[in-house]
């Protein structure tokens, strides 16, 4: 017969382990924002199902992985544009944004992300 | 008044892992190490700078911290939103290469920031963000 506190301790340890995986995903977005990233690759690297990663990440950080990635790209793009030695195309390339039209619109938004936005690709 | 900044603190959740990071990866010296198990207080700092230390301490050790608060702190540490520190070096690229070669978790490669500094960032084993900036 297990002591009830053992079960609680195990649950707490699992929770911390999961949060540490989410942290690694967030750090990877921070580090590799200029590369093509998708939720499948992010999830695979930390051994979580993609749907679970998206849900748990959004709960932990109040923004989906995709929103977090776009916020990071926008922040860097804004810095590069202010520096002024690259045109919009160059900046877009430098921050790894695959969709010029979406990115132009997003650049005009405030630098602080809105959390989960309604126009994210399904499953991200 | 003559006041120096003497010691700042970062939490750990695995004292041996944290000591290994600050001593073996960043090259700090260990100046003191008291307590046992998870309840260890370890003072580390850069060689040649005895006046500035980091105390690696167990989080939420104050008995006045409630169970809920303790859980929040450990969860924030795990998700990487709790502790952070800013370090500096005259040789940012050299330090980055050395730290990266020790398999530390890289958060950011050396980058020129719009607020006028060039820095990189790592995670320590407890989830603290360690930013290192170039001294100019």
Containing domain of residue B72, as a range?
7-134
How confident is the model over B94-132, as pLDDT tens digits?
A: 999 999 999 999 999 999 998 999 999 999 999 999 999
**B66 belongs to a structural domain:** yes
Write the burial class of residue A95 (CB in 10 Å: 0-12 exposed, 13-18 middle, 19+ buried).
buried
What domains does chain A contain, in order, with CATH numbers? 4-107 (1.10.10.60)
Residue B19, pLDDT above cutoff 80? yes
Best A23, A65, A72, A94 member to test B by mutation, with max B CBs in 10 Å, is: A23
Residue A26, pLDDT above cutoff 50? yes
pTM summary value = 0.86
pLDDT of res. B80? 98
Contacts of B123 in chain A (CB under 8 A): 23, 27
Residue A118, pLDDT above cutoff 60? no
Terminal C-alpha separation, chain B:
28
pLDDT of res. A105? 46
Q: Say how many domains are in chain B.
A: 1
pLDDT of res. A43? 96
CATH number at residue B88: 3.10.180.10
**B41 belongs to a structural domain:** yes
CA distances from A31 to B105, B109, B112, B121, B134 (A): 10, 7, 14, 9, 18
pLDDT of res. A121? 42
How confident is the model over A30-63, as pLDDT tens digits?
A: 999 999 888 999 999 999 999 999 999 999 999 9
Residue A115, pLDDT above cutoff 60? no
């Amino acid at each position: 017969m297990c002591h009830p506190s053992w079960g609680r301790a195990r649950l707490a340890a699992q929770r911390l382990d999961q949060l540490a995986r989410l942290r690694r995903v967030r750090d990877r977005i921070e580090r590799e924002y200029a590369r093509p990233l998708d939720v499948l690759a992010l999830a695979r690297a930390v051994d979580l199902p993609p749907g679970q990663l998206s849900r748990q990440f959004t709960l932990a950080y109040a923004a989906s992985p995709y929103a977090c990635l776009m916020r990071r790209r926008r922040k860097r793009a804004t810095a590069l544009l202010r520096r002024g030695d690259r045109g919009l195309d160059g900046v877009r390339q430098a921050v790894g944004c695959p969709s010029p039209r979406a990115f132009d619109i997003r650049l005009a938004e405030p630098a602080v992300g809105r959390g989960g936005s309604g126009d994210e690709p399904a499953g991200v | 008044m003559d006041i120096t900044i003497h010691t700042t603190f970062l939490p750990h959740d695995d004292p041996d892992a944290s000591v290994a990071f600050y001593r073996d990866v960043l090259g700090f010296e260990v100046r003191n190490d008291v307590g046992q198990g998870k309840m260890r207080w370890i003072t580390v700092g850069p060689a040649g700078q005895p006046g500035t230390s980091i105390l690696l301490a167990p989080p939420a050790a104050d008995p006045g911290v409630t169970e809920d608060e303790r859980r929040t702190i450990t969860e924030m540490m795990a998700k990487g939103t709790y502790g952070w520190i800013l370090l500096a070096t005259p040789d940012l690229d050299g330090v980055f290469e050395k730290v990266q070669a020790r398999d530390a978790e890289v958060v950011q490669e050396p980058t020129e920031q719009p607020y006028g500094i060039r820095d990189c960032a790592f995670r320590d084993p407890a989830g603290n963000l360690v930013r290192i900036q170039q001294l100019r």
